[in-house]
Structure 1
Amino acid sequence: MPGKEFHVYDDDGYIGIVNADSYISFVDSDWQLNQLFNHFSKAINDETLIVWGTSPGGGSWIVDFLEARSEQQSFREFESTIVVTDGRLYLVNYTDLTMAAQFEDYTLPDKRNTDLCIELQPGRYRCIVRQMFIPEKDGDRFEIILRPAERKGEPVNDVYWNTRF
């Protein structure tokens, strides 16, 4: 896992990490935005999903999974926890999450993104997400550090770095 680099494209300014084995993705065939983000927040608190805002308008992102923080200073960062049940976590974009929220038969990961996978031993992980660029300026890189964790992270009321509301 350490040292893996992925390229994730997103049109809408949100990407995430999901335990596709345990995340309940369906919300409603006619979900509303606040309903969707409440669903995401609950899933973050249930340790099945981590979602964060990237920058307005989306983009193409490089996501590095590292063993430790780089020495470069981040623009911002957060910590959360996620539980691995089947040995895999997937990177997902907002389109995949909204499709799965709207259609009961849509599964994560999207078949086009099955290669955006990290293999880990089952267990709880502390996840540090570091944004290595200033939004709307230059840059496109996130660092993610996953370490075994003994206890659940702090509860959240919203998606990390959410700018929609």
Structure 2
Amino acid sequence: MTFGDTNFIGVVNAERYKSFVDQDWDLDGLLTHFSNEMKEGNILVCQMTEEGIEHSWSVDIKIGTEEITHQYFRKAVGYINVTDNKLCLVDC
């Protein structure tokens, strides 16, 4: 992903993910929303930094139960529903 001011990176099922959080959202509400959507299998998201920074990220996506043997900065593990064989990589 090219750099930008971002805190989160995720893989999203755009067909199922409920993107609206709240007009007057705060970080706790956003984290609750992400958690709820992860439980529904609509997103896998991880917080990259405590504050937004401009940086380019390399993202590795593994499918199945393959063990990750190399170093990583952040990791999200879970299940995600796939609609029409499509998922989106997003930064928030």
Mark yes or no: TM-score above 0.5: yes
- The residue type paired with residue 60 of structure 1 is S
Structural RMSD (CA): 2.3
TM-score (norm 1): 0.45
Mark the CA change 1:64 to 1:43 in structure 2 (over 3 Å): closer, same or farther.
same
Give the C-alpha shift of residue 75 in structure 1. 5.1
Q: Which is strand-richer, 1 or 2? A: 1
Give the C-alpha shift of residue 86 in structure 1. 2.1
Unaligned runs of 5+ in 1: 1-6, 95-165
Match of 1:40 among 21, 34, 37: 34
Unaligned runs of 5+ in 2: none
1:91 & 1:36 partners in 2: Cα distance? 18
User: Of the two, which has the highest radius of gyration?
Assistant: 1
Q: Identity across aligned pairs (percent)?
A: 39
Higher relative contact order (CA 8 A, sep 6+): 2
The count of corresponding residues between Structure 1 and Structure 2 is: 88
Paired residues of 2:10 and 2:43 also in contact (CA < 8 A): yes
Instruction: Please name the residue that 2:79 is paired with.
Output: 81
Give the C-alpha shift of residue 23 in structure 1. 0.4
TM-score (norm 2): 0.75
Helix, strand or coil at the partner of 2:79:
strand
